[in-house]
Amino acid sequence: MKIERLALYNFRNLGPTELVPAAGLNLIVGPNAAGKSNLCEAVYYAAKGWLLKGERQRDVIAWGAHEAVLELTVNGDHVRIHLNGRARAKTIELNREKKTQSEVSALVRVVLFTPDELQIIKGRPEARRRFLDRSIAELSREYRYIVLEYEQTLQRKNALLRQGTPNPDVLEVFNEELIARGSRIITQRIEYLKTLNKTLSQHYRAIAGRASELTVTYETPLDLSSGDVRAQLARLIAQAAPQEIQRGMALVGPHRDDMRFDLDGHDLRRFGSQGEQKSALCAMLLAQLDLYYQRFGDYPILLLDDILSELDSRRFQRLLQLLPAGVQIFLAHTVTEISELHPAVRTAAQRIFLIEGGKVSVAL
Ligand SMILES: Nc1ncnc2c1ncn2[C@@H]1O[C@H](COP(=O)(O)OP(=O)(O)OP(=O)(O)O)[C@@H](O)[C@H]1O
Ligand SMILES: [Mg+2]
């Protein structure tokens, strides 16, 4: 999957922009606040239709302007997105015909990695659950719907529990739904992590250049060795009933589970260095790319926003070499001058775009 042309008009701080990216590694370089992340976000937004930080759609229109346009040509197909700030309307076209976002999303597949992703390792369990769900949903549309349905039922159950004396019949109906969907979510999450674990250490070792064991484990009160996830979840939810009513919230289910990364047997969140945490994240990315390729027979477009900082030069050189050939990559990297670029990064790049004050120029 390749972007052959990208054009932007009034997208955040970026001036009128037209890019013809290379098929492989595209470097997006420039100083702080130049617009590098905005460029990555533009591609992400065009493909997914939503913004990572949950901002409003009109926030991406350049301040003072009333409309913005994004155009992507991907494998010969032409996607055009028009945002009208005044009408708060969005028009999506594919080859000049109106389409829905999901039709475009099925066609333009992207994976975005930003420094915020470190929260997967360092942050709260929500960040890990969101990452896990997003990653699995990337491979399975059905999973995304199950998660959505689970979350809707969960909200309704919590609203009921907050009333203090919930109607037991209604509670029962909600619980049945949560058990049915929750057990599928847990099963798929476990399955996904099991598959990731098959290659995770190998990728970590390749980046770190040393023999290490990186594993990711699903954390749940369920006994995973016993197998019957559905029956166990039903039992735990039944046991938790009095407590749930007392506290006014659902206390058992995939919305309370977590995952843990261990590097050579030590919890990476508590003991890992910044570089180790970042390397682990990059190993996750590589392992995910493997799964992606197995599922679709092609790689997604990779948007890597500032992932090289905190990696020492040996690690990032190895990472650049490890990214599979045939993936189109947009790698944003902060430098004030092109001359500051590490020679290895410069050599690996097929094209270098320099952004300064929202203006994009081709530097290589
Ligand atoms: N709707 C908007 N209109 C105009 N400018 C905006 C809008 N939204 C964000 N900006 C500005 O865009 C600028 C560039 O942001 P961006 O995150 O792309 O920088 P960056 O090049 O990634 O910098 P860094 O190296 O610090 O990560 C910021 O100064 C931000 O205030
Ligand atoms: Mg940035």
Q: Which two tokens stand for residue 275?
A: 């570089």
Q: Which ligand is nearest to the Cα of residue 36, counting in written order?
A: 1
> 83 and 58 in contact (C-beta within 8 Å)?
yes
Taking alpha carbons only, the member of 27, 47, 137, 140 closest to residue 92 is 47
List pLDDT tens digits, range 287-318: 999 999 999 999 999 999 988 887 888 998 99
Q: Is the CB of 28 under 6 A from ligand 1?
A: no
Q: Which CATH number fits domain 3-109+300-362: 2.40.10.120, 3.40.190.10, 2.60.40.420, 3.40.50.300?
A: 3.40.50.300
List pLDDT tens digits, range 100-153: 998 999 899 999 988 888 999 999 999 999 999 999 998 998 999 999 999 999
pLDDT at 225: 84
**What is the mean predicted confidence (pLDDT) over 172-199?**
97
Ordered strands of the 67-74 beta sheet: 17-19, 3-9, 67-74, 77-84, 89-94, 97-98
Q: Which of 12, 334, 354 to mutate to test the pocket of ligand 1 (most atoms within 8 A of CB)?
A: 12
pLDDT at 67: 96
Measured in Å, residue 282 CA sits from the centre of ligand 2 at 18
Q: Which two tokens stand for residue 221?
A: 């009160």
User: Rounded CA gap, 270 and 158, in Å?
Assistant: 32
Confidence category of residue 207, pLDDT binned at 50, 70, 90: very high
CATH 1.20.1050.90 location in the chain: 125-269
Non-local (6+) Cβ contacts of 40 within 8 A are: 28, 112, 114, 303, 304, 305, 330, 332
pLDDT above 90: residue 3: yes
Measured in Å, residue 39 CA sits from the centre of ligand 2 at 9
**What is the mean predicted confidence (pLDDT) over 51-73?**
90
User: Rounded CA gap, 61 and 90, in Å?
Assistant: 12
Q: Is the CB of 114 under 6 A from ligand 1?
A: no
Ligand 1 closest atom vs CA 60: 1
pLDDT at 58: 86
Confidence category of residue 352, pLDDT binned at 50, 70, 90: very high
User: Rounded CA gap, 272 and 289, in Å?
Assistant: 24
> 292 and 139 in contact (C-beta within 8 Å)?
yes
> 220 and 257 in contact (C-beta within 8 Å)?
yes
> 66 and 58 in contact (C-beta within 8 Å)?
no
Ligand 1 closest atom vs CA 65: 3
Task: Name beta bridge partners: 113.
Answer: 304
Q: Which of 11, 29, 36 to mutate to test the pocket of ligand 1 (most atoms within 8 A of CB)?
A: 36
pLDDT at 145: 95
pLDDT above 90: residue 260: yes
**What is the mean predicted confidence (pLDDT) over 155-171?**
94
Q: Which of 28, 38, 360 to mutate to test the pocket of ligand 1 (most atoms within 8 A of CB)?
A: 38
DSSP 8-state class, residue 47? H
Q: Which ligand is nearest to the Cα of residue 34, counting in written order?
A: 1
Task: Name beta bridge partners: 19.
Answer: 6
Taking CA atoms only, the protein residue closest to ligand 1 atom 2 is 12
User: Rounded CA gap, 327 and 25, in Å?
Assistant: 8
DSSP H or E run through 170: helix 168-208
Confidence category of residue 5, pLDDT binned at 50, 70, 90: very high
Ligand 1 closest atom vs CA 41: 18
Ligand 1 closest atom vs CA 30: 21
Mean pLDDT of the chain: 94
CATH 3.40.50.300 location in the chain: 3-109+300-362
pLDDT above 80: residue 261: yes
List pLDDT tens digits, range 78-103: 999 999 999 999 999 999 999 999 89
Non-local (6+) Cβ contacts of 258 within 8 A are: 125, 128, 129, 219, 220
Question: Which pTM does this prediction carry?
Answer: 0.90
Orientation angle between helical segments 125-139 and 274-296, nearest 10 degrees: 20
pLDDT at 114: 87
> 25 and 331 in contact (C-beta within 8 Å)?
yes
Q: Which ligand is nearest to the Cα of residue 10, counting in written order?
A: 1
Q: Which CATH number fits domain 125-269: 3.40.50.150, 1.20.1050.90, 3.40.50.300, 3.40.50.2300?
A: 1.20.1050.90
According to DSSP H, which parts of 25-167 are helical? 36-48, 101-107, 119-122, 125-139, 141-162
pLDDT at 364: 80
Q: Is the CB of 315 under 6 A from ligand 1?
A: no
Strand pairing class (77-84; 359-362): unpaired
List pLDDT tens digits, range 213-245: 999 999 999 998 887 999 999 999 999 999 999
Q: Is the CB of 12 under 6 A from ligand 1?
A: yes
Q: Is the CB of 189 under 6 A from ligand 1?
A: no
Q: Which ligand is nearest to the Cα of residue 51, counting in written order?
A: 1
Cβ atoms within 10 Å, residue 12: 19
Q: Which two tokens stand for residue 294?
A: 């197995």
Span of 61-75, 179-193, 223-237 with lowest mean pLDDT: 223-237
Span of 75-84, 192-201, 225-234, 354-363 with lowest mean pLDDT: 225-234
Q: Is the CB of 255 under 6 A from ligand 1?
A: no
Q: Is the CB of 55 under 6 A from ligand 1?
A: no
Measured in Å, residue 41 CA sits from the centre of ligand 2 at 10
User: Rounded CA gap, 151 and 146, in Å?
Assistant: 9
> CA dist 321 to 77, 177, 207, 288, 345, Å?
30, 46, 9, 17, 10
**What is the mean predicted confidence (pLDDT) over 160-188?**
95
Strand pairing class (3-9; 17-19): antiparallel
Measured in Å, residue 12 CA sits from the centre of ligand 1 at 7
